[in-house]
Structure formats: C-alpha cells, structure tokens
Amino acid sequence: QGSGVEHWRGYELITSTRAKSGYAGVYANKTGFISMVWNGKTQVGLGQFHSARLAAAAYTRCRAAVEREGVTETASLQQLAAQVRDGAAAAERAAERPPPPPHASGRGCGEEDPYYGQGELAGEGDPGPRVGPDGDPLLASLHGVRLHRSTKSNTGYACVRQVVGKRRQTTYRVEVKKKALGTFSTKVEAALVYARYLEGGGADAAADESDDD
C-alpha cells in the first residue's frame, strides 16, 4: 500500500509513498505543513506545523484518539494536535539550551537547573564563597545580574534557603527579614529573584545583605 512506520520522539509516524510530504495525512502549503485526520464523518484540520514530521506526529496522535478512544469532536482533536505541537516546541527549546559546566553536580545545578549553564561561575577574585555547602559551584552572575553569595546560607546564596518537604521534595525559599519573596524549584532561580529585588531598591533586602555577606 506504499505505507510504513517511522519512529520519531516517541511517535509512530505513518509514512506514505503516495503523499508528496512523505507522510499520511500531511500536506505541504506555502508556510509549512498542515495535517488532517478522518473522524468517521469528515476530514478535520489539525492546524499548521513547521515540519512534516511534527504534522505527522499530530496526525498519529489524533488518529489513535479517533480509532481507540472514540474522540470525534473537531475541537478535541485540534486540542490534541496543539499539545503535540507545544510538546515538540518545548523539546526544541530544551535542546537549544547551553550545556551546563562539566563539574556541576546537580541539586539545583547542572541539567536540573535551566539557568545554570547561562551564568558565570564565581572566580578566585570574586568576594564570597565559590562553592556551596553541598559542593556545587556557585554563580557570580546571571544574565548580567550579580548574584549575592553567603557563607551563612545553606545554599551558598544570600537569603536563599533550601527546604525539604514532607515528600522529600526540595525547593528553595527566598526570605528577606521574614518577608517571603517566593519559593522556587532551583537555588539559582531563587538567587536571581533576590538579586533583582535588591536592584529594585528593596530596603530590607539591602540591610539583610550587609548582615549576611
């Protein structure tokens, strides 16, 4: 029948020698590719995609929804296709992220922290600790913003405290004179929030920094 299967990012793409795009349900247009799936009554347009493979992935997901899950509503199928598109976009952004330094050990650094590979490591001439209590190297700056490090903090960053929840989930809390600025998934993100708070003229934070650093 001129069809086959190609595996891509967890999807089984249905190839077709009769389709100009190379994939079943995928059609090229002036701005990229569109995907369409038969819902049992009519062809449903699934939207615009920047690559034939991505359009084919949306077709595969929606075809399975029709045949196995009984989904036939146009809005529901288009929503599934949008989820495929958004998931691929997130994967592409992650692939473009600069790799972390090879000596980063995790726990809020390295691959677990999207901010880490974008910052500048603390050097010998920088005031404050270069390595946190957990052994992770500390950043001196991120996106041009100076981060404030401290030997009195259990993270190595001033006013950033590591908190372990009941389910052993680790988060990082920013507190300035008992005023909470938020809780974050990584310590570098928390340190950046505190630094920007100082840049904004937080008087209490400035006083706390003089005590902490």
Q: How far apart are CA 198 and CA 148, in angstroms?
A: 10
Predicted confidence at residue 33, as pLDDT, reads: 94
Positions of the chain with pLDDT lower than 50, given as ranges: 1, 99-112, 203-213
Using a pLDDT cut of 90, give the percent of the chain over it.
26
Q: How far apart are the first and last CA of the chain?
A: 71
H helix runs in 70-201, sequence order? 74-96, 187-199
pTM: predicted TM-score of the whole model, two decimal places: 0.46
pLDDT of residue 63: 92
Question: What pLDDT digit, counting tens, does each position of 9-25 carry?
Answer: 778 899 999 899 999 99
